[in-house]
Structure 1
Amino acid sequence: MNEQLKDFLTIDDFDVEGKTVLFRADINSVVINGKVQMKERIEENAKTIRELSAKRAKVVILAHQGRAGGDDFLPLDQHAQLLRNFVDLKYVDDIMGPVARAAIKNLNEGEVLLLDNVRMLAEETLDRTPEEHAKSIFVTRLASLADIYINDAFSVAHRSHASVVGFPKVLDAGIGRLMERELMALGRAVIDIKRPVVYVLGGAKPEEVFDIMEFALEKGVDSILTTGVIGSFFLYAKGVIPLKVDNLLFEHVGRARRIANRGGRRIKYPWDVAIEVNGRRKEIPLDEVRANQRIYDIGEITCEKYGEIIKNARTVIMKGPAGAYEKKEFAKGTKKIFKAIADSDAFSLLGGGHTSAAISEVGMNRQEMDNVHVSLAGGAFLRYLLGKPLPGIEVLKKR
C-alpha cells in the first residue's frame, strides 16, 4: 500500500454490495448567469460514484454548491442533470426530511440518489467539533439509514462541517478514489520530496502565497519562481520598478521585502514583463516599467530562464497563473510555464482553482502532462502545503 494511504480505509477495504453508502462528493462548480458549468470536479467524482454503483452499493450523495447568501448558492437540480452524463441517478430536493429519508430507504442495489445542497441546513456549517457534529439532527437522522461513509471531497477537507467530520464518528468510514489520488500526490510533493524542489508562485492572492513562501523557505526549498502579481510585489520590494504611494501595496511590498531578504538568491524575479499598449501585448525590460504600471504577464526572457530551472528540477509545485491568462494576449507566460512543467521529468503538483482553470483556458492538453497532478482543491490544498492538519482528513484516519 502507498505510504500516504496507510492510515486510511479505502473502498477496497469494504464489501459495499447491498450496503447504503453515504458519499460526500465535491461537485461545487462555477455558476454563470445562474447556470452551473460542467467542471472536472463533477466528472471526477462521477467515476467513484460509478464504481460504487457497479459494486451494487446503494449510493447516497451528499454535496454542496456555493455559500449561503452568494450568487452561486443554489439547489443541486442542475448538478443532477450534469452528473447524468456519467451515471444514472435520482434527485430529491430534500436533505434529511421525510422525502429524503423515504428515497434512501427505497433505493435498490446499484442505484444512486443525490440529495439537495447540504449547506441549506444551518447545522452543516456550524463551528463545532466532529464529536458535536456527530450528535446533530442531520447526522443522526441520515447515519441511522446508512452503513458506510466515503469522503471523496478533498477540497472541503479543511472545513469542520457536519457532512465532512460528523459521519465518520458514527459510521465505518473511508476515502474515495479522488481523495486517494490527492493524498498520494500531495505526499510526493510535501513529504517524500525529491530535490531540487522548485515552487512557481503567482496569481493574485498575496497573503496565501507569502505564507507558502515562508513555509517553503523554512523547509529548504531550492528555488521559488515568482510570477503574476506576486512577482510585481517582489520587484517593488527590491526597488527594481518604481512604486507610488499606495497603503495596501506598501503592506504587501513590506512583507515581500522581508521574505526576499530571508530567501536571498533562492527567490527569482521576472527579468522582463508584458504590458498593454493600445489593446496589444508589449514586452519591455524592467527599467522601462513606470510607477504602478499594470503588468499583465511575464516576458519571453523570463519564460526561458524559468523554463531552464524547471527542466532541472525533480519536484515542482505551482500555485497561481503567471499572468492575466483570461486575455489571449497575456496567456503566453502561463502556457510556457505549463509547457516547461509538462516537458520536465520532475513530478509536478499544480493547485488552486485559477491554476486548474488556466490549463484548459490556455489550450494545454492534460493527457500530455504525464507526470503532473492537478489538484482540484483550493483551501485544502493550501493548508496541506503549509503542513496544517485538515479536520476532514484527521477524522478519517483509522481508529
Structure 2
Amino acid sequence: MTSFPTIDDLDPRQRLLVRIDVNAPVEDGVVQDDRRFARHAETIRELLADDHAIALLAHQGRPGRATFVSLEQHAAILADHLGQSVEFVADTYGDEALSSIEHLEHGDVLLLENVRMCEGELPEEEPDVKAETKLVRTLATSFDAYVNDAYATAHRSHASIVGFPLVTDAYAGRVMEQEYRENTAIRDREFDGTVTMILGGTKAEDTIPVVEQLADVVDQFCLGGVIGELFLRADGHDLGYDVDGMDLFDHQWANHSETIERTLEAHRDRLVLPTDLAYEDDDNRVEVLVEGIVKDTSYLDIGSETIDRYTNLVSTSDAVYVKGAVGVFEDERFADGTVAILSTIADTDCFSVVGGGDTAHSIVLYDLDEKDFTRVSIAGGAYVRALTGESLVGIDVLERGGQK
C-alpha cells in the first residue's frame, strides 16, 4: 500500500503541473524514442479524461553532455503517443512560459523547456532548499496541483522533483505509483516458492548492496556480465580484469575487491556463478569453460552451459527479478544469455520485474512482449534503491507534503 496521494485523489478539471521523465538516448542530436514516452502517455491520457489542463515538466541529459538538448523533439514524440497535439514553449518559468500556461484550456497539453536549463534545478540539495528556488515558487502559483510521474528520477533531490510537494498539493502519477509498488514488492509480499534474481550489468557498486540487503529474501542470485567476472575473480579464476584496452574491471576491483570477497564468502550458498563464457573469434561466437581459463580476450556473454542452468532455475521460480544484462545483447551473437533468460521468464507463470534501462531495451530489441512480465521498470538508480530498501527522496516528499 502506498502512503501518498495519487491521481485517484484529484478532483477533475484542474490546472496541473506534471513532472515526467522522458530522458532518452540522443544520437547525432536526434532523440531516440523509448518506452518512457509510452508509459507517461498513459498517465496523461487518464488525466485528460478528467478534463485537466496539463503543463509538463521534464529534463533531457545534463549540462555539458551531448544528450543535453531542447525538448522540442520530445513534444512531437509525445504527441504521437497521445494521439493529440502537444504545444511546446522554449521557456520554463519565464514570461513566455507563464503566458502559455495562462492560456491553457482544459484538455490541452503543454511541454515546457528542459528544466535542467534552469538555475536552481541542479545540484542535489535538501527539499526545503529546493522549495525556495525561483523555479518552484514561480511555477507553483500557476497551478492547482502538482503531479510527479517521474519515478526514474525519484532518487534525485532536484527542484522539479522535491520542491513542489512542499509548497502545493502533490500527487503521484500512475508510473510513479505502479513502479514504486512493484519494485518494492520483493520485501512487501510473500512468495510461495523460490525467489530468483538475475544480476548482471557493469557496476559493482549497484550490485553488491542488492546481494547484501536481499540475501534474506532471495534464494538464488544468478550472476553475469562484468559483475559475474568480478565474482569469478574473487573465487580464484583468471578473470575480472581489463584486456584489449577495456576499462571495466581493474578500477572496480581496486575499489570493491574486499567487499566482493566478503560478499562471496558470506552468501556463497546463494550465489550462482557462470561456468562458461562466450567471446569473439574471427567474427564468430566461441565458448570456453571457466575452469582453467586464462583471460586473454574480452568475454561478452555467459555460455550455453550457464544459460541452461540459469533458465532451469528461472523456470521453477515463483518470483524472478532482473537487474542488468548478462551479456552484450546489442550484438546478436552475444545476446543468447539475456534473451534466453528473459524468454524463460516470459514463459513462466511467476511474478517478474525486469529493471534497468538497458535491460528493458533488450525486450524491445528482441521482440519480446512486455505484457509477459509483471513489470518492466523504466528506472535505473531508483530501481536499485527500491530493491535494497533505500528511501527515495521523490517518494519521501510526496508522503511528507501530500495535500495541503
- TM-score of the two chains, using structure 2 as the length reference: 0.92
CA contact (8 A) 1:193 1:315 kept: no
> Paired residue for 2:158, among 149, 158, 161?
161
Distance across 2 between alignment mates of 1:95 and 1:311: 49
Counterpart in the other structure of 1:324: 328
- The letter for the 1-side match of 2:237 is V
Q: Against the structure 1 CA distance between its residues 247 and 48, is the aligned structure 2 distance closer, same or farther, given a 3 Å change threshold?
A: closer
- Aligned-residue Cα RMSD (Å) equals 1.8
1:1-399 superposed matches below 5 A: 3=1, 5=2, 7-17=3-13, 19-85=14-80, 86=82, 87-194=84-191, 195-217=193-215, 219-241=216-238, 247-248=250-251, 250-251=253-254, 252-287=256-291, 289-367=293-371, 369=372, 371-397=373-399, 398=402
Paired residues in the alignment total 391
Shift in Å at residue 242 of structure 1?
Answer: 5.5
CA contact (8 A) 1:318 1:350 kept: yes
Shift in Å at residue 155 of structure 1?
Answer: 0.6
Distance across 2 between alignment mates of 1:82 and 1:15: 28
Distance across 1 between alignment mates of 2:306 and 2:240: 21
CA contact (8 A) 2:229 2:239 kept: no
Shift in Å at residue 51 of structure 1?
Answer: 1.9
CA contact (8 A) 1:56 1:110 kept: yes
Q: Against the structure 1 CA distance between its residues 230 and 126, is the aligned structure 2 distance closer, same or farther, given a 3 Å change threshold?
A: closer
Q: Against the structure 1 CA distance between its residues 261 and 47, is the aligned structure 2 distance closer, same or farther, given a 3 Å change threshold?
A: same
- The letter for the 1-side match of 2:127 is P
Q: Any stretches of 5+ residues in structure 2 without a counterpart?
A: 243-248
Q: Against the structure 1 CA distance between its residues 244 and 329, is the aligned structure 2 distance closer, same or farther, given a 3 Å change threshold?
A: closer
Shift in Å at residue 243 of structure 1?
Answer: 6.8
Q: Against the structure 1 CA distance between its residues 317 and 105, is the aligned structure 2 distance closer, same or farther, given a 3 Å change threshold?
A: same
Shift in Å at residue 250 of structure 1?
Answer: 4.2
Q: Against the structure 1 CA distance between its residues 243 and 357, is the aligned structure 2 distance closer, same or farther, given a 3 Å change threshold?
A: closer
Q: Against the structure 1 CA distance between its residues 247 and 151, is the aligned structure 2 distance closer, same or farther, given a 3 Å change threshold?
A: closer
Shift in Å at residue 199 of structure 1?
Answer: 1.2
Q: Against the structure 1 CA distance between its residues 182 and 148, is the aligned structure 2 distance closer, same or farther, given a 3 Å change threshold?
A: same
% of aligned pairs identical? 37
Distance across 1 between alignment mates of 2:138 and 2:262: 52
- TM-score of the two chains, using structure 1 as the length reference: 0.93
Counterpart in the other structure of 2:246: none
Deviations 1:292-342 (A, max 9, x none): 532111111111111121122222111111111111111111100101211
Shift in Å at residue 366 of structure 1?
Answer: 1.9
CA contact (8 A) 2:229 2:240 kept: no
Q: Any stretches of 5+ residues in structure 1 without a counterpart?
A: none
Counterpart secondary structure, 1:123: coil
Shift in Å at residue 220 of structure 1?
Answer: 4.0
Distance across 1 between alignment mates of 2:362 and 2:396: 31
Shift in Å at residue 127 of structure 1?
Answer: 3.3
Deviates more, 1:304-313 or 1:187-196: 187-196
Shift in Å at residue 372 of structure 1?
Answer: 2.7
Q: Against the structure 1 CA distance between its residues 244 and 120, is the aligned structure 2 distance closer, same or farther, given a 3 Å change threshold?
A: closer
